[in-house]
Structure 1
């Protein structure tokens, strides 16, 4: 199987009191955060499709499984709740709606990504590439090529397949360490990290995860000074009186046996057959421009140069010059910085 990835980025490196509010409104301030449906199954999901996906305020589970009378049992195509009345089988709830999969791997693997076309779950080869991308908080999706179903695009946030009658799930051995991130100034920031002054954030990612494991439909509250904040798991939002922020939950990458750094790099190159990745920076008016070298341009690197460096380390960085000025590309944050003026621009890989 060959595959390629496209990462949509919003990453972070700030922390501590940065979680608190300011006078600005967040880009998600128009989101309806009313919670009026706890414990109720989504009727659209049960009919086959819910357009709201992970934003839906209703449970994406089989309504009959909740009642304990699903006649399809383990062959049911809908999600069954963990520890519920219905027949237990491999849950496919999005990562923001399910604490753990019902089925744990017992074959020595740390994790396994699978697809289901209605005829049972099938393992995805070289899924450590998918896992590596999934562990990055800014990566929204991945595209897999040369599968029996053609090109398959997986939405990480909603844990679903775009445009195909396929289901996707991630199983693990039950020992995954989950990290919680908050969106701040279009970057993802890990809860509990130290800020620029060396102060540790008021809440740890492990504290949030513990609460989430106990009740994936609940919330986590904490204070910064006199301000109170609430993380609503089903909405994946952090709320306060002044602002709403997005949050996400991603695993810490664990290396499967036989998938070292060199193997991962080789697999990424092999999985990119049949597709070419281009690197772009965001210019004035939100217009995107490709990095080009030669042919009258003054940029010292090409899109291919950037891609080769990225393959070596997805969280690394590289420097280049334009008209004699030095710039830095931060792959983890997907940001370009002019090291003379400190002006920053968004970059992307398409």
Structure 2
């Protein structure tokens, strides 16, 4: 391939995927996502990620879950920055974006129906549009562009406090303590090499003091939640040069690995799978299975029912316990976690039991989560239901769906899981979670399905 410019659509799509996954992603995962839409060879994909300035290739020392070899993380890059002189109203023309910093932070108190902000909230303005086009970022969602800026523009995020990472005690050697204007977080966690995990004395998330400081700087709660991952990306972008020899050796192996079994066999749960060990699906006694990758393979997580119960509640970002599962990043400490399940209920006839019923929620006005198709606190109902969204999602998991509630139109983006109001430029988080099924409910349904009077096609593959 002579130039990656002919693959601009692939580059744009890969950038969108990275931004919707907190700015970085395992190489093999990114390849699979891109391959779902574009028929692109391994050779061309490698050429793009190695040569395109949009991507930074970070070689990891730890083994990957798929190959048992050292792997790569791809981090999204951009040379674009916010203009420092624009806020001082001293810039007459430059190659940096003219945007309100607090708009990028997602928390500008102006421009939401009250007093108009004196700084631009328009990424497609006469000044900004040519810059975005030049960097082929003009089709990127606002939120994706802002994440890209946050992890690339050093002026937007405060530094990690080096003094906190020295000494002992709650604030380390930081003499400013709770008044510190830098973030108190474990530097080794940021560098992705903390050996202590959950037992580390340093923070691996943003505490109340740093949160208060960040909120005073104008950062939204969504960005603060993702901040530990953004700092990891910033570190990788600043500190990891390309290891040419190791990347070359990695690029020689196929990216299109054989797909692992990922769907649980509903017939095995009912004890009547006729394929037995030749079955293409996972044999397990529940319609869900939680696993953690611990360096040499996937292992079952203990307390699976309690993890599932927590996951099914859309308000939860973590499972209970001393080593909780992070449902947003699907990790436990720093180990990858995955959830296997039976087929989605919308893909099977209604009489099939123990399929997975996925429910779709949007965040309400009072930190509550409302299922699509159900009335909110003002008895307003959306035009689409969980089933409608699930069918659309399985058809195209990068699509946008129009939703009407009352007199307002919204757009749901599956790619970044937000519902947007285009008129007021506001957004709400969207979550897809399964309906909870207890072990006792599974046992009861299995017993009922053993009745000789059941519909015969229930047992057909």
Which has the higher relative contact order, 1 or 2, with Cα contacts under 8 A spaced 6 or more apart?
A: 1
- Greater percentage in helix: 2
